[in-house]
Amino acid sequence: MSILLIGNAFALVGAILMIVTGFLKKKNQILGVQIVQFTLMGIGNFLLGGISGAVSNAVGILRNVVGFKKEFTLPYKLFFVAIQAVLTLVFYQSGLGILAWFPFFATVMFTWCMDSLDERVLKGAIIGGELLWAFYDFHFMNYASLTCDIFTIVSNTIGILMLMHHKPEPEVAE
């Protein structure tokens, strides 16, 4: 079985989870599913030669674990952005130009917004990041992820619309 098929198989399972996050409403649910998603997609990126993508997924796992346990303050955000920048530089793939930085930009966008109390902001960051990932995945022939990048953009857009039209049920006094 070729590396292209194996890498796309890992990416496909992770990408399906990525689509699922678009329909989740709670931040902890989104972060938990993303940990599994990042693991699978990181393996897929590595197998397909997308090293900066694999590094980005690894940092995303660590960031989400911390996001579960701690308030995501400015120092944490700066710490994870710095780690991502250093690792992107260390594992920079010459010949890719700005494309090698797309996972970094996508991760920074999400990191910066993940502590928002408004899930619409978090979903907006996911949409912006997925646009960048779509170009990256296309370059590395990560077609499973590319397809799901598009579905994630759509599902998160639907999620935002659902949140905008969601009206909390009135509390009933007993």
Q: What is the pLDDT of residue 95?
A: 76
Q: How far apart are CA 44 and CA 145, in angstroms?
A: 9
Q: What is the pLDDT of residue 168?
A: 57
Tokens of 23: 């329909």
Of 43-47, 50-54, 119-123, 143-147, which has the strongest mean pLDDT? 43-47
Question: Would you state the structure tokens that stand for residue 16, as one six-digit string?
Answer: 């399906």
Q: How far apart are CA 137 and CA 150, in angstroms?
A: 11
What are the sequence ranges of the domains in the chain?
3-165
CA distances to 33, 43, 129, 145, 153 from 149, rounded to whole Å, are: 16, 17, 9, 6, 6
**pLDDT digit string, tens, across residues 56-76:** 899 989 988 887 788 778 898
> What pLDDT does residue 174 have?
54
Average pLDDT, the chain: 86
pLDDT at 172 over 70: no
Which pLDDT band, with edges at 50, 70 and 90, does 127 fall under?
very high
107-124 average pLDDT score: 85
CB 137 within 8 A of CB 146: yes
Classify residue 172 by burial, with Cβ atoms within 10 Å: 0-12, 13-18, 19+. Answer: exposed
Confidence of residue 128 (pLDDT cuts 50, 70, 90): very high
Mean of the pLDDT values across residues 153-162? 89
pLDDT over 90 at 43, yes or no: yes
**Number of helices followed by number of strands (H, E) in the chain:** 7, 0
How far does the chain reach from its first CA to its final CA, in angstroms?
63
More confident residue, 94 or 156: 156
Least confident of 39-43, 115-119, 168-172: 168-172
pLDDT-derived band at 83 (thresholds 50, 70, 90) equals very high
